[in-house]
Structure 1
Amino acid sequence: MTYSPSIAGLELGGTKCVAILGTGPDDVRARETVPTTDPATTLAALEKILDGWRFDALGIAAFGPLDLDPRSPDYGSVSATPKPGWSGTDLTRRLAARYGKPLAIQTDVVGAALAEQRWGAARGLSSHCYITVGTGVGVGLIAGDRPVQGVAHGEAGHMRVRRAPGDDFAGACPFHGDCVEGLISGPALARRFCRPPRELPDGGDEWDLFVHDLAGLLHNLVVTAAPERIAIGGGVMAPRERLFPKLRAALAASIAAYGSLAPYAEQLDSRLGPPGLGTMAGPLGALAVGLDALDKAGG
Structure 2
Amino acid sequence: MMDEYASQRRTGAEPLVAVARSQCIVGIELGGTKIICTLARRHDDIIETRRLATRDPVTTLAAIETIVDGWVRTHEVQALGIASFGPIQLDRTADDYGHIGQTTKPGWHGTDVVQRLIRRYGVPTQADTDVNAAALAEGRWGAARGLSSWCYITIGTGVGAGIVIGGQTVQGLGHPEAGHMLVRRMPGDDWPGACPFHGDCVEGLVSGPAIERRTGLSGDAITDDDPVWALVADTVAAMVHNMIFTVVPERILLGGGVPSRRPFLIPMIRSRLVSHIGGYGGGDLIATDIGTRLIAPGLGDDAGPLGSLALALDAMQHAIAVDAQLHI
TM-score normalised by structure 1 residue count: 0.96
Matched, 1:130 2:152: yes
Residue number in structure 2 paired with 1:20: 38
Does the CA contact (< 8 Å) of 1:24 and 1:284 recur in 2? no
Root-mean-square deviation (CA, aligned residues, Å) is 1.2
Pick the aligned partner of 1:52 from 70, 80, 96: 70
Residue number in structure 2 paired with 1:234: 256
Q: Distance in 1 between matches of 2:44 and 2:309?
A: 12
Residue number in structure 1 paired with 2:172: 150
Residue number in structure 1 paired with 2:305: 283
Pick the aligned partner of 2:53 from 19, 31, 35: 35
Consecutive unaligned residues of structure 1, counting only runs of 5 or more, are none
* SS of the residue 2:261 aligns to: coil
Question: Match of 1:253, as an amino acid?
Answer: S
Q: Distance in 2 between matches of 1:173 and 1:211?
A: 18
Residue number in structure 2 paired with 1:104: 126
Larger radius of gyration: 2
Consecutive unaligned residues of structure 2, counting only runs of 5 or more, are 1-21, 322-328
Matched, 1:203 2:225: yes
Question: Could you list the per-position Cα deviations for residues 39-75 of structure 1 after superposition, in whole angstroms to 9, with x for gaps in the alignment?
Answer: 0100111111101112110000010000111221101
Does the CA contact (< 8 Å) of 1:133 and 1:233 recur in 2? yes
Measured after TM superposition, the shift of residue 5 of structure 1 is 4.8
Measured after TM superposition, the shift of residue 172 of structure 1 is 0.6
Question: Could you list the per-position Cα deviations for residues 82-135 of structure 1 after superposition, in whole angstroms to 9, with x for gaps in the alignment?
Answer: 101100000111111111100011000000000001110111111001111000
Taking the TM superposition and a 5 Å limit, the aligned residue runs for 1:78-93 are 78-93=100-115
Does the CA contact (< 8 Å) of 1:67 and 1:152 recur in 2? yes
Taking the TM superposition and a 5 Å limit, the aligned residue runs for 1:116-265 are 116-265=138-287
Question: Match of 1:31, as an amino acid?
Answer: T
Question: Match of 1:22, as an amino acid?
Answer: A
Q: Distance in 2 between matches of 1:160 and 1:196?
A: 25
* SS of the residue 1:56 aligns to: strand
Q: Distance in 1 between matches of 2:269 and 2:43?
A: 28
Question: Match of 1:172, as an amino acid?
Answer: A
Does the CA contact (< 8 Å) of 2:91 and 2:97 recur in 1? yes
Identity of aligned residues (%): 53
Measured after TM superposition, the shift of residue 196 of structure 1 is 2.3
Question: Could you list the per-position Cα deviations for residues 190-221 of structure 1 after superposition, in whole angstroms to 9, with x for gaps in the alignment?
Answer: 11111122221012111000001110100000
Pick the aligned partner of 1:297 from 308, 311, 319: 319
Does the CA contact (< 8 Å) of 1:23 and 1:287 recur in 2? no
Q: Distance in 2 between matches of 1:275 and 1:24?
A: 20
Does the CA contact (< 8 Å) of 2:43 and 2:309 recur in 1? no
Residue correspondences, number: 296
Question: Could you list the per-position Cα deviations for residues 231-267 of structure 1 after superposition, in whole angstroms to 9, with x for gaps in the alignment?
Answer: 1111112112221111111111111111223212211
Does the CA contact (< 8 Å) of 2:259 and 2:266 recur in 1? no
The ranges of structure 1 where at least 4 consecutive aligned residues each deviate by more than 3 angstroms after the TM superposition are none
Q: Distance in 1 between matches of 2:142 and 2:82?
A: 19
Residue number in structure 1 paired with 2:12: none
Pick the aligned partner of 2:29 from 3, 7, 11: 11
Question: Could you list the per-position Cα deviations for residues 163-188 of structure 1 after superposition, in whole angstroms to 9, with x for gaps in the alignment?
Answer: 11111110111111100000000111
